[in-house]
């Protein structure tokens, strides 16, 4: 995130565009198959219970500084805004990464 924050506005837009293009490519590939890995959800990730997801969120908070959280929040706000500018919406992820 520190690298992203250090970029100029033009470089940030280019970075976000590359990331969005990659996301769209992966999404398209997932639609061509069933989007599932060989052993479960997309990307082979393990399904987590609500309690496990909550525990992981709390661990991430404990391991990050307020500055890091602010940078991450800015990055995702910028990503959502750029997707909207490109007419792509939130891609079904609701802005949660």
* Segment 74-93, tens digit of pLDDT: 999 999 999 999 999 876 55
Position 50 scores a pLDDT of 92
Which residues on neighbouring strands pair with residue 37, listed in sequence order?
40
In a domain, 11, yes or no: no
Q: Is residue 68 part of a domain?
A: yes
- Determine the Cα–Cα distance for residues 84 and 11; give it in Å rounded to an integer: 18
Tell whether the model's pLDDT for residue 27 goes beyond 90: no
Q: Confirm whether 79 is domain-assigned.
A: yes
In a domain, 28, yes or no: no
- Give a yes or no: residue 49 inside a domain: no
How confident is the model at residue 60, as a pLDDT?
87
Number of domains in the chain: 1
Mean pLDDT score, 44-59 = 87
Q: What is the 8-class DSSP label of residue 37? A: B
- 31 in a domain, yes or no? no
Confidence of residue 97 (pLDDT cuts 50, 70, 90): very low
């Amino acid at each position: 995130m520190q690298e992203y924050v250090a970029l100029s506005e033009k470089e940030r837009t280019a970075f976000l565009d590359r990331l969005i293009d990659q996301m769209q490519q992966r999404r398209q590939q997932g639609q061509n198959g069933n989007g599932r890995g060989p052993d479960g959800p997309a990307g082979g990730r393990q399904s987590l219970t609500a309690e496990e997801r909550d525990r992981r969120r709390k661990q991430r908070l404990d391991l990050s500084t307020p500055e890091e959280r602010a940078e991450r929040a800015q990055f995702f706000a910028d990503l959502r805004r750029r997707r909207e500018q490109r007419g792509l919406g939130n891609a079904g992820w609701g802005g949660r990464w």
